[in-house]
Structure formats: C-alpha cells, structure tokens
Amino acid sequence: MAEHSGQIPCHIAIIMDGNGRWAKRRGLPRTAGHAAGAEAFRRIANYCRTLGVKYLTVYAFSTENWKRSAEEVSGIMKLLGKYLEEALEDMEKNHVRFRFFGDLSRLSPALQKLCQDAQARSADYSEVQVNFCLNYGGRDEIVRASQRFAEEVAAGKRQPEELTEELLSSYLYSANVPDPELIIRPSGEMRTSNFLLWQSAYSEYVFMDVLWPDFQPKDLDAAIAEYNRRNRRFGGV
C-alpha cells in the first residue's frame, strides 16, 4: 500500500467509464470491457476499504445508458448479476454495507431481488459503505425527491416553506451520506454525465486518462494526492 501523507477523503465517488474503449483496443466485444470493468470495481472497492475510505459511490449504469443496443444492455445486466453476487461475498467477509442509488424498478426481478437482499443483509455493517448507482441519473434523483416532497405537501404533512437544502437532501437516494469530497472520472472524458448533480456542488473533480478496466490502486493514490494539492475554499477566501 502506498504511503499517504495527505488526507484520505471520507467519501470518494467514481464514474467507471472507458470499458468499451478498453475492449475495442483489444479487438474484443464491448461486454468483455464491462467484465474487466467489474473486476476493477472489486479491486478498487477492496483498496478503498484498506485505505479507510468510509463511503465509495460508483456509477455503474445511468438513466441514459438504456439508449445502447439491446445486446449491450442485456450483456451489462447479466454481468451485473454475476459480479454483484461475487461482490456480496466480499461484502459478507469484510463487513461492507451496500446501498443502491437509482430506480431499480426497471431492472429484472432477479436483479432487483439481489439488490434488495444485499441492502438488507448488509444494513448493519459499518466498515465501509458502497453506494452502487444503477439506473441512476442526477436529474432523475432530484425530480423524484421533488415529487415526494410535493406529495407530502398535497397530503397536508408539509408546508412549502419548510423546504431547505437539508430537507431536500433527505429525499435523495443519498440521504444520510455526506457529500463526496473527491469525484474521479477515468477514460479522459471531462463531464459529469448526470452523476451526483446535487451532491457534487463542492466536490473536487479529478479527470484521468486511464480507462476504468486498467484502473489500479496506484491510480487511486494519484487521484488522492491530486485532491490533497487542491485548495478548497467553499466560497470563502
């Protein structure tokens, strides 16, 4: 393990991007890239645990990723089932708490059950929490939170003027999770692609050229070192 002279962020979020390009460079089908990406997730989640990161949020499938071919989507869904089961074995061994951010109702009943079981079985674990973003969109998350608040107002349980930043946060998938200090996007793209729009207001972004399936603990070390060189001001001086 590398020496970390600076602070380890409490919450790291990662946009796991670049699986398709990784496969293309090797002349492999895109699904092979997703399989390698799932291995990278397992590797990096375990490394985060050894570093003492408290929350790891990963973007696995966005609300926009349904636009891909039916073949790619079903390949990803199949892999998710397989790799989540393996990740859950790690979870039991290492007391990792799993939460899922996103609208799971669009997933297959089997995958939904796997997610629900994982959440329930790990609810009391506190070593590290992995938030797995599946059919997740930052805008969708805010719309759903707004709908829930509006329903409570309509039912007479809340007043419109009660709405504060804290209260809105409590309706998000990320309720009770502190905002990420560091968001990493590998693959060379420099955009959020609808990830954690609300929670990232003051996050430090680190964009890296490495493709996600190639991502190693040393790359995480480099991102944390870059984070420690940043000067966070939160609007102050």
The binding site for ligand IPE (CB under 6 A) comprises: 15-21, 59-62, 65, 76, 187, 189, 191, 193
60 contacts which partner out of ligand IPE, Mg ion, none, CB within 5 to 8 A by kind? ligand IPE
d(CA 195, CA 172): 13
Query: Do residues 130 and 58 make contact, with C-beta atoms less than 8 angstroms apart?
Result: yes
> Phi first, then psi: what are they for 10, rounded to 5°?
-75, -35
**Residue 90 annotated among the catalytic residues of the structure:** no
Instruction: Please pick, among 46, 65, 94, 194, the residue that the annotation labels catalytic.
Output: 65
**Per-residue contact string for residues 14-43; x = within reach of Mg ion by CB under 5 A:** ---x--------------------------
Q: Indicate the residue whose CB is closest to ligand IPE.
A: 20
Q: Which does 19 bind (CB under 5 to 8 A by kind): ligand IPE, Mg ion, none?
A: ligand IPE
Catalytic residue list contains 228:
no
With a CB cutoff of 8 Å and minimum separation 6, the contacts of 2 are 217, 218, 221
Mapped to the 3 state alphabet, what secondary structure does 67-98 carry?
A: HCCHHHHHHHHHHHHHHHHHHHHHHHHHCEEE
d(CA 91, CA 68): 30
Q: Of the two residues 9 and 138, which places its CB atom closer to Mg ion in the complex?
A: 138
Catalytic residues: 17, 65
Which residues bind to Mg ion, rule: CB under 5 A?
Answer: 17
